[in-house]
């Protein structure tokens, strides 16, 4: 069976309301576990909690999440503490806190927390109306078979490598196909990015997207800010420049990632239940409305091959020097 996100984050129940997940280095940006990876961990905790602690309730699916990133998370064990805010007949609300022991004082510190609304998407009933909502501008057509076998089609081409793979290790776990620059429609803003994606844990594109992975997916894309401040390396990632040209550019300009883009808050609204076995392909559009004074927003939409909206997300994020990611407090000596 193809791997899904549940295979990436094995979870252990410590008590009826405590769980632990080991956050791994290969899902980091710099020294910090990717925010989307952490978000998906919250989704897995919520789903597991309802299955193990409240097995008689039929609310197995997260349908809405609001997450606040308070501090940097770290590689290693993460403790998730769940509070049952409201257990209802159709909707239940959970409050979940992620905390980790700190190297410099060996005490637990809260690093992210959020509210997750649980329901049963498969059993939902109620008024449905056709809003005729579609992507605008419309996405360019894609030949997914050609993308899978050749790495390109008439409109899209594979983002073969991240220009800073040792810094953005989490990006190695997804295969992205972006619009070929020669096919980019005139007037398409830099602040919008379209991509078809496959789940590629450990750099092998054999994974499948499930609802567990939506948190990771809505936080994994070529950074829009980079298309403004570092267009050469983004062009190189699409094969517009040779490896030799890229290395020469990095030597003479910026040999490391200049910026880090930590998420302050993330909202996720899940519209559709993907099959348990997952799907191979999803389409993601990312758009920024304002990039100002070191702060920016993101709107993300996830669509499936049937042109149905799977999820939408909005982020509030910062733009900071990459050194803010890699500098950690030294552990204090105990007297």
Nearest to 117 by CA among 56, 6, 52, 42: 42
Average pLDDT over residues 214-232: 91
What's the pLDDT score for residue 295? Answer: 98
Comparing 321 with 265, the larger pLDDT belongs to 265
What is the total residue count of the chain? Answer: 335
The rounded distance, in Å, linking the Cα atoms of 222 and 237 is 10
Q: Residue 24 pLDDT > 70, yes or no?
A: yes
The rounded distance, in Å, linking the Cα atoms of 43 and 212 is 6
The whole-model pTM stands at 0.94
Q: Where does the pLDDT of residue 330 fall: very low under 50, low under 70, confident under 90, or very high at 90 and above?
A: very low
What's the pLDDT score for residue 121? Answer: 98
Provide the 3-class DSSP secondary structure of residue 5. helix
The rounded distance, in Å, linking the Cα atoms of 249 and 243 is 10
Residue that is written with structure tokens 């590629």 in the block? 200
What six digits make up the tokens of 31? 């020294």
CB atoms within 10 A of CB 298: 24
Comparing 327 with 176, the larger pLDDT belongs to 176
What six digits make up the tokens of 168? 């953005």
Q: Residue 237 pLDDT > 80, yes or no?
A: no
Report the percent of the chain where pLDDT is more than 70.
95
Q: Residue 110 pLDDT > 50, yes or no?
A: yes
Comparing 250 with 192, the larger pLDDT belongs to 192
What's the pLDDT score for residue 331? Answer: 44
In tens, the pLDDT along 162-186 reads 777 888 899 999 999 999 989 999 9
In tens, the pLDDT along 63-88 reads 999 999 999 999 999 999 999 999 99
Q: Where does the pLDDT of residue 333 fall: very low under 50, low under 70, confident under 90, or very high at 90 and above?
A: very low
CB atoms within 10 A of CB 308: 10
Q: Residue 269 pLDDT > 90, yes or no?
A: yes
Mean pLDDT of the chain: 92
Tell me the C-alpha to C-alpha distance, in Å, between residue 212 and each of 41, 77, 97: 8, 19, 18
């Amino acid at each position: 069976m193809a791997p899904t996100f549940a295979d990436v984050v094995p979870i252990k129940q410590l008590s009826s309301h405590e769980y632990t997940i080991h956050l791994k280095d290969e899902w980091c940006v710099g020294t910090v576990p990717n925010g989307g990876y952490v978000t998906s961990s919250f989704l897995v905790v919520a789903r597991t909690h309802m299955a193990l602690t409240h097995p008689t309730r039929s609310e197995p699916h997260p349908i809405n999440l609001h997450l606040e990133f308070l501090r940097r998370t770290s590689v290693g064990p993460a403790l998730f503490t769940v509070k049952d805010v409201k257990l209802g007949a159709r909707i239940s609300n959970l409050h979940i806190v992620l905390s980790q022991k700190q190297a410099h004082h060996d005490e637990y510190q809260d690093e992210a927390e959020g509210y997750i609304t649980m329901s049963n998407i498969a059993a939902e009933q109620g008024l449905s109306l056709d809003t005729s909502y579609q992507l605008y501008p419309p996405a360019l057509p894609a030949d997914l078979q050609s993308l899978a076998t050749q790495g390109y089609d008439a409109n899209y081409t594979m983002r073969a490598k991240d220009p800073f793979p040792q810094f953005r290790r989490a990006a190695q776990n997804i295969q992205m196909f972006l619009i070929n620059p020669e096919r980019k429609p005139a007037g398409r803003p830099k602040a919008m990015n379209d991509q078809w994606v496959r789940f590629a844990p450990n750099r092998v594109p054999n994974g499948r997207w499930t609802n567990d992975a939506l948190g990771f997916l809505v936080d994994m894309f070529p950074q829009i800010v980079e298309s403004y401040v570092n267009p050469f390396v983004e062009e190189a990632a699409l094969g517009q420049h040779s490896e030799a040209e890229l290395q020469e550019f990095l030597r003479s300009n910026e040999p490391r990632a200049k910026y880090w883009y930590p998420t302050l808050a993330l909202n996720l609204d899940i519209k559709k239940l993907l099959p348990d076995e997952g799907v191979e392909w999803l389409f993601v559009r990312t758009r920024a409305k304002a990039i100002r004074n070191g702060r920016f927003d993101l709107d993300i939409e996830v669509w499936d091959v049937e042109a149905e909206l799977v999820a939408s997300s909005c982020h509030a994020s910062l733009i900071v020097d990459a050194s803010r990611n890699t500098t950690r407090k030294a552990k204090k000596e105990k007297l």
